C-alpha cells in the first residue's frame, strides 16, 4: 500500500516536467484587421506582426484561442488545420474567420465575452507566443449617430484598410435601394474608380455591403482598390454613393488622407571609428527595410578572407567580428577591405579601413 | 542601598583602569602592497569596448558592451605571487580572443597604491620569467578593496594617442 502511495506521489512530482519544455517566442507585435471594422458575423482577416518573435518565416503557425470560446480545445499537441495561419510576407501572418461561425456563438454572446484572447503556437505546441488580445472596434454608435458618412480610420492612408459607413436613411431618395455603389477617386478624381453600372465586375467591386436597416459599408485598401502606382502620394479620397443604376446620389464627399509617415532612413555604422589588427570590428544597421534581417560580411585582410553574417530585425542588426583572433599574428597588414550586404544581396557598405599600428 | 551600588561601580572602574595597564605596540609587519590585493583568481563581470576617438569627438556610440560576445562570460584571469608576495605568472582561461597574451609573467609599475589618483598603477605583462620581453600593459583603474572588485583597462594607442580601450570589470573568485 505504501509503495503505491509513493509511486503516485512520485508521478505527481514528475508531472510538471512533462508539461514543460515549451519555448516562449515573445510577444505578438502590431495587429490589424481587414475589414477595419466588422460585425461579428462578417468574415474578417486578422493580421499579426511576428517579426519581433523568434518564429522563422517558413514556420507553420496555429491560432490557439480560448475566448470567446475554444474551438481547438484538447489539441494543444496537434493543432487542427482549421486553426492554421497564413504567412503573408515579412513575418506577418494572417488568420481569416467569421467570428460567429468559428466560435459557434451569437454576435450578442461574443459582444458580452471578454474579447479575443489567444496565443500563436506551432503545430505540436513546443513553441508559443505571449498571450495576446485582438482589439475589436465597436462601430454600433453609428446606427444612432445621425451621421451620413463615417470612416475608420477618420483619415485613411494609401496602403492601409479603410471602412466607410453610410447611413442611407439620411440620404433623400435612397429609400428602397436594391444596392448602393461607390463612385470614387483619389486626389480629386486623379485616379478614378467610377461606378460603371454596365460592367458586372465593376458593379460588384463598387458595391457596398448591406448592414441592414439602410446602413451600408465599404471596405477597401486605396492602393489596391485604385491600383495606384508605387510611391503615389494620397491626399484625399473623393466619392459619392449611388442608388441602384444611378437612381439617386449623395452629395460629393471627401476623406482627407492621414499624413504619410515615411519610415526612418536606415543607418549603418562601424564600431570603432579607428582600429588596429588587435581590435574587434562592430557593425550595426538600424531602421532596416521590411524583410531585411541579415548583414552578410566579407572582410579581406591580405590573403585572409573572413566571411560571416549577423541576424536581427527591422529595428537593428548588430554584431562584432573577432578580428583579434582572426588576424592574430598575421604580419604586415595595413588595411582591411570590408564588404557588407543585406540578405537581399544589396551592398550596404564597401569600405577600406586602414589598420592603426599599436605603440609598444 | 543606592550608595552601595555606586561603590560597586567605582570598584569596577578601577578594574577597567588596571586592565589597560600593559601597552601593546604590536610586532613589525610588512606594509600592504598592491600585490596582496591583485593576486588571486578573477572572473569577468563586464567587458566594455570604448571608441576613444569617438568619445573625444562626442560621437555616439562611443561604448559597446562585449560581455556576451566571444565567450567572455567565461573569462577568468589568475595572478600568482610567491610566498614573499612577489608577482610570478598569470594565466587567462575561458577560451577568449587574445586581446593580450593569455599567459606569461607579471609585475606592477609600483608596489604601493599611488597617492596621486591620476597616476594609475599598471600591470606589466611579460612573455618570459625574467620579465624582459614586455607583451602588454594593463591599467588598474580601480584598485581592489573590501568589495573584491577590480577594474583593468587595456589601451590601444598609436603615436601616443589612444583610439580604442577595453575595460575589464572583475570580481574575485574564492
Residue of chain B nearest A326, judged by CA positions: B97
**ipTM for this model:** 0.79
Do residue B156 and residue A279 have CB atoms under 8 angstroms apart? Answer: yes
- What are the helix (H) ranges across A215-356? 222-225, 323-326
CA of A269 vs chain B CAs: smallest distance (Å): 10
Could you please state the CATH topology (level 3) that the domain comprising A267-356 is classified under: Immunoglobulin-like (2.60.40)
Q: Contact B156/A278, CB-based, under 8 Å?
A: yes
Same fold across A18-134 and A140-256: yes
Work out the average pLDDT over A217-238.
Answer: 93
Q: Which CATH class for the A140-256 domain? A: mainly beta
Query: For A138-191, how does the pLDDT look when each residue is reduced to its tens digit (9 = 90+)?
Result: 999 999 999 999 999 999 999 999 999 999 999 999 999 999 999 999 999 999
Q: Which domains does chain B have, with CATH numbers?
A: 34-173 (2.40.128)
Question: Residue A34 — very low, low, confident or very high, per pLDDT cuts 50/70/90?
Answer: very high
**Closest residue of B to A355, CA-based?**
B158
DSSP letter string, B51-99: EHHHHHTT-S--EEE-TTSTTGGG-EEEEEE-TTS-EEEEEEESS---S
With beta carbons under 8 A apart, name residues in chain B contacting A359: 157-160
Contacts of B110 (CB under 8 A, 6+ apart): B34, B121
- Topology annotation, domain A18-134: Immunoglobulin-like (2.60.40)
What's the CA gap between A131 and A128, in Å, rounded?
A: 9
> B168 contacts in A (CB within 8 Å)?
none
pLDDT tens, position by position, B85-111? 889 999 999 989 999 999 999 998 877
Considering only the beta carbons, identify the residue of B51, B99, B134 that sits closest to A278: B99
Partner residue opposite B99 with nearest CB, options A272, A273, A324? A324
Plot region of B79 (φ>0 → left; ψ -120 to 50 → alpha; else → beta): beta
Identity of the residue in A274, A280, A328 whose CB atom sits nearest the CB atom of B49: A280
Where are the domains positioned within chain A? 18-134, 140-256, 267-356
Give the model confidence (pLDDT) of B39-65 as tens digits.
889 999 999 999 999 999 998 899 999
Q: Which residue of B has its CA nearest to A281?
A: B49
A356 with B163: Cβ contact below 8 A: yes
Assess A330–B contact: CB distance below 8 Å, yes or no: no
Amino acid at each position: 500500500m505504501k509503495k503505491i502511495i509513493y509511486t503516485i506521489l512520485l508521478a505527481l512530482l514528475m508531472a510538471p516536467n512533462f508539461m514543460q519544455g515549451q519555448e516562449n517566442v515573445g510577444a505578438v507585435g502590431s495587429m490589424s484587421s481587414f475589414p477595419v471594422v466588422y460585425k461579428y458575423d462578417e468574415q474578417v482577416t486578422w493580421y499579426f506582426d511576428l517579426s519581433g518573435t523568434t518564429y522563422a518565416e517558413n514556420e507553420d503557425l496555429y491560432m490557439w484561442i480560448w475566448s470567446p470560446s475554444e474551438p481547438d480545445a484538447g489539441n494543444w499537441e496537434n493543432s487542427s488545420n482549421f486553426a492554421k495561419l497564413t504567412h503573408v510576407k515579412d513575418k506577418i501572418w494572417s488568420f481569416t474567420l467569421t467570428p460567429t461561425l468559428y466560435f459557434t456563438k451569437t454576435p450578442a454572446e461574443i459582444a458580452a465575452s471578454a474579447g479575443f484572447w489567444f496565443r500563436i503556437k506551432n503545430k505540436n505546441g513546443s513553441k508559443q507566443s505571449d498571450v495576446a488580445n485582438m482589439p475589436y472596434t465597436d462601430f454600433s454608435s453609428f446606427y444612432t449617430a445621425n451621421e451620413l458618412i463615417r470612416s475608420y480610420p477618420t483619415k485613411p492612408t494609401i496602403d492601409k484598410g479603410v471602412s466607410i459607413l453610410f447611413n442611407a436613411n439620411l440620404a433623400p431618395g435612397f429609400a428602397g435601394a436594391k444596392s448602393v455603389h461607390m463612385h470614387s477617386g483619389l486626389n480629386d478624381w486623379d485616379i478614378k474608380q467610377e461606378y460603371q453600372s454596365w460592367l458586372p465586375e465593376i458593379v460588384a467591386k463598387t458595391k457596398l455591403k448591406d448592414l441592414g436597416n439602410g446602413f451600408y459599408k465599404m471596405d477597401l485598401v486605396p492602393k489596391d482598390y485604385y491600383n495606384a502606382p508605387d510611391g503615389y502620394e494620397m491626399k484625399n479620397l473623393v466619392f459619392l454613393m449611388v442608388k441602384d443604376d444611378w437612381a439617386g446620389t449623395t452629395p460629393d464627399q471627401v476623406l482627407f488622407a492621414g499624413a504619410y509617415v515615411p519610415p526612418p532612413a536606415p543607418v549603418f555604422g562601424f564600431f570603432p571609428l579607428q582600429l588596429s589588427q588587435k581590435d574587434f570590428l562592430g557593425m550595426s544597421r538600424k531602421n532596416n527595410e521590411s524583410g531585411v534581417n541579415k548583414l552578410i560580411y566579407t572582410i579581406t585582410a591580405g590573403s585572409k578572407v573572413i566571411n560571416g553574417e549577423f541576424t536581427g530585425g527591422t529595428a537593428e542588426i548588430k554584431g562584432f567580428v573577432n578580428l583579434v583572433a582572426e588576424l592574430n599574428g598575421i604580419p604586415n597588414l595595413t588595411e582591411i577591405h570590408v564588404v557588407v550586404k543585406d540578405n537581399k544581396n544589396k551592398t550596404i557598405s564597401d569600405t577600406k579601413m586602414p589598420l592603426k599600428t599599436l605603440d609598444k | 542601598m543606592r550608595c552601595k551600588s555606586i561603590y560597586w561601580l567605582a570598584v569596577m572602574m578601577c578594574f577597567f583602569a588596571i586592565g589597560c595597564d600593559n601597552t601593546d605596540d604590536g610586532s613589525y609587519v610588512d606594509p600592504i602592497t598592491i600585490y596582496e590585493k591583485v593576486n588571486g583568481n578573477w572572473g569577468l563581470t563586464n567587458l566594455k569596448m570604448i571608441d576613444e576617438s569617438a568619445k573625444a569627438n562626442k560621437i555616439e556610440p562611443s561604448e559597446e558592451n562585449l560581455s556576451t560576445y566571444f565567450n567572455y562570460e567565461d573569462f577568468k584571469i589568475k595572478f600568482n605571487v610567491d610566498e614573499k608576495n612577489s608577482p610570478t605568472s598569470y594565466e587567462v582561461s575561458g577560451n577568449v580572443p587574445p586581446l593580450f597574451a593569455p599567459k606569461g609573467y607579471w609585475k606592477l609599475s609600483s608596489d604601493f597604491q599611488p597617492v596621486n589618483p591620476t597616476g594609475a598603477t599598471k600591470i606589466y605583462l611579460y612573455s618570459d620569467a625574467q620579465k624582459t620581453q614586455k607583451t602588454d600593459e594593463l591599467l588598474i583603474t580601480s584598485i581592489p578593496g573590501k568589495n573584491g572588485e577590480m577594474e583593468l583597462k587595456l589601451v590601444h594607442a598609436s603615436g601616443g594617442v589612444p583610439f580604442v580601450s577595453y575595460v575589464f570589470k572583475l570580481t574575485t573568485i574564492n
